[in-house]
Amino acid sequence: MSADFTKTPGSEQINMSAIDLNPPQKSLFNFGFAHPQATDYAAIGLPRMKCSKVSVHYGEKLAVSDASLNIMPNEVLALIGPSGCGKSTLLRCLNRMNDTIPGCRVSGKITLDDEDIYASDTEVVPLRVRVGMVFQKPNPFPKNIYDNIAMAPRLHGLVSSKAEMDAIVENSLRRAGLWHEVKDNLKQSGTSLSGGQQQRLCIARTIAVNPEVILMDEPCSALDPIATAKIEQLIDELRRQYSIVIVTHSMQQAARVSQRTAFFHLGKIIEVGETEQIFVRPREELTERYITGTFG
Amino acid sequence: MTNSFDRHTIHRFDEELQALYFQVLEMGELVLNQLCLALESVKNKDLTLARRIIDRERVVNEMEVSADTAVCAILAKRSPKGSDLRTVLSTSKIVNNLERIGDEAAKLANFVNYMHSHEDGDASNFPLDDILRLGGASSEIAQLSLDAFERLDGEQARRVIEFHRTLDQQFQHGLHHLMGFLQAEKANVSNAVSQVMMMKALERIGGHAQRIAELVVFQLEGEEPRHHTQDMAQDFPLEE
């Protein structure tokens, strides 16, 4: 495959007047990595994250091969493909979650706002604040709802007063669509919530530190259709502020929530395109066979 | 590309698509038969045949409802994608166009019934050459478009789309001849209007057949050919 999946339609048209070259510095979320608001990537249509020829090995096994992909601001990018195709592996590379797996080697280049996230001087903890992750199974801390949200801002020293923390907790829960359901029981344990509420709590926890990119690894696979619909609605709202990359086995979900979709097969990206194009007239035969259920 | 109904991991889905495909072919056959019989009734001024066609229009409508139901079921149960989605969408629209061809055929039969069941007219004096020529062309284009659907033949579908221009020209010639006839003869106005309406019905049949061919192209390629609305005769029916 020689196709270049890093090109995005319209990305070459840069509206220079929309770029604020000297934006105000917000120390609250500056972790000494690149400043998130240094460039308005959405305004100029540049990728928020960029994967260039990324390959991942688990020991001898090649899990992802030469994957090139852009993650644009304010978009939901869905990664689809059969089990073991490398989509979750690539997702986990985006905030270096694979660092903890023995024998995992990542080659190629992944950048966040043009900075190499695998550079030797990159600190992983601030990176994971900027690129948050929501997992398949809701995993709230065994603490109350308030502390679930407050823990990360507190650890990273993002707040200086109780009032400020209260505001972050309320704001995060509101944006996760959970505030009205839990506002009177913030001292209740996070693990006592329903599965769907727990997952929204995890999303609230992720956005409490104001990330730029949110990674979601099958966030609804353990949820019922109602809870799934609430998460999908939430994803649609969060897109206005963040870039979201979602791995899902549900093609319906990919079609519903994403603007672009990438299809993986045997560690390779077979096709990336606008979601509508992928699901109505895919260019590649393999994609067609996968989405129509005529695979294998 | 050909139709093959043993592709899906879920075999039941293949069966449902196959059933829908055969339903459309069956409906197409019936509609073509209705059209041919309607032309026969025009040619032979056959009132009995015309009434049979009008009666059988109900069956065409029932087939449309049945195909629509099958389409809804597939959409609800299978959420088709890619070529499956295009197949279901285009099939649904083809069914709709077939039903309209059926309507137009019944309309022809209605005019035969009207013109020849009144004693006051001069219906027998009207020239039929143009109507029959137009009828031959419209039934041919309908047949060709259904063949293109049956074989999923994109090339033939594109030929049908082009062929429709010829039908437009025939429609305009027919109108001009009729106007000449009306100026020369003192003809009954209602019969003259019926003649025009019959020509228009045949022209519309060609339009629906063209649409079927366009849908075959969409099914195969994912893009619809450009609509030739500016060429359509109904916009400027009396232009030379």
- The ipTM value here is 0.77
What pLDDT sits at residue A19? Answer: 36
What pLDDT sits at residue A165? Answer: 96
Sequence-separated (6 or more) residues with CB below 8 Å from residue A290: A80, A81, A82, A263, A265
Residue A162 lies in a domain: yes
A281:B10 CB<8 A: no
> pLDDT band at B225, cuts 50/70/90?
confident
Residues found in chain A:
296
3-state secondary structure of B7: coil
Contact in structure between A110 and A93 (CB atoms under 8 Å): yes
A292:B7 CB<8 A: yes
What pLDDT sits at residue B228? Answer: 53
Residue B178 lies in a domain: yes
Mean pLDDT along residues B99-116: 92
Residue A9 lies in a domain: no
CA distance to partner chain A, nearest, from residue B70 (Å): 18
pLDDT for B20 beyond 80: yes
Q: A with B: how many residue pairs have Cβ under 8 Å apart?
A: 39
Domain count, chain B: 1
Chain-centroid distance of CA A291 in Å reads: 23
Residue B240 lies in a domain: no
CATH number at residue A45: 3.40.50.300
Q: Tell me the C-alpha distance between B226 and B233, whole Å.
A: 17
Low-confidence ranges of chain A (pLDDT < 50): 1-2, 8-38
Angle (deg, nearest 10), helices B11-44 and B82-116: 20
Q: Identity (one letter) of the amino acid at A277?
A: Q
Chain A's closest residue to B12, CA to CA, is: A293
Residue with tokens 């400020």: A164
| Chain B residues interacting with chain A (CB cutoff of 8 angstroms) | 7-10, 13, 79-86, 221-223
Interface probe with B: pick from A271, A291, A292, A295, most Cβ of B within 10 Å: A292
Residue B32 lies in a domain: yes
Q: Which domain holds residue A177?
A: 16-291
Mean pLDDT along residues B87-95: 97
**Residues in chain B within 8 Å Cβ distance of A282:** 82
What pLDDT sits at residue A193? Answer: 96
B81:A295 CB<8 A: no
Residue A4 lies in a domain: no
Which sign does the torsion angle of CA B7, B13, B16, B20 carry? negative
What pLDDT sits at residue A30? Answer: 38
CB atoms within 10 A of CB A122: 15
Strand partners, A76: A244
Q: Can you read off the two tokens belonging to residue B18?
A: 């196959």
What pLDDT sits at residue A83? Answer: 94
Tens of pLDDT, residues B132-149? 999 999 999 999 999 999
**Residues in chain A within 8 Å Cβ distance of B10:** 293
pLDDT for B235 beyond 90: no
Residue among A252, A281, A296 whose CB faces B79 most closely: A252
CA distance to partner chain A, nearest, from residue B148 (Å): 20
Mean pLDDT along residues B157-172: 88
Sequence-separated (6 or more) residues with CB below 8 Å from residue B144: B156, B159, B160, B163, B209, B213
Residue B170 lies in a domain: yes
A294:B8 CB<8 A: yes
Residue B2 lies in a domain: no
Residue among B82, B221, B223 whose CB faces A292 most closely: B82
Q: Which domain holds residue B100?
A: 11-231
**Residues in chain A within 8 Å Cβ distance of B81:** 251, 255, 279-280, 291-292
Residue B20 lies in a domain: yes
What pLDDT sits at residue B110? Answer: 93
CA distance to partner chain A, nearest, from residue B71 (Å): 16
Query: What is the signed CA dihedral for B103, B109, B112, B118, rounded to 10 degrees?
Result: -90
pLDDT for B157 beyond 90: yes
Q: Identity (one letter) of the amino acid at B98?
A: L
Contact in structure between B74 and B67 (CB atoms under 8 Å): no
Tens of pLDDT, residues B42-85? 999 899 999 999 999 999 999 999 999 999 999 999 999 999 99
Nearest CA to A86 among A247, A296, A214?
A247
Residue A6 lies in a domain: no
What pLDDT sits at residue B167? Answer: 87
What pLDDT sits at residue B187? Answer: 73
Residue A3 lies in a domain: no
CATH number at residue B178: 1.20.58.220
A294:B9 CB<8 A: yes
Higher pLDDT, B164 or A245: A245
Chain A's closest residue to B220, CA to CA, is: A281
Higher pLDDT, B95 or B111: B95
Residue A117 lies in a domain: yes
Residue among A252, A287, A292 whose CB faces B8 most closely: A292
Q: Tell me the C-alpha distance between A13 and B200, whole Å.
A: 50
Domain count, chain A: 1
**Residues in chain A within 8 Å Cβ distance of B86:** 280-281
Residue A2 lies in a domain: no
What pLDDT sits at residue A133? Answer: 95
Eight-state DSSP code of residue A176: T
**Residues in chain B within 8 Å Cβ distance of A292:** 7-8, 80-84
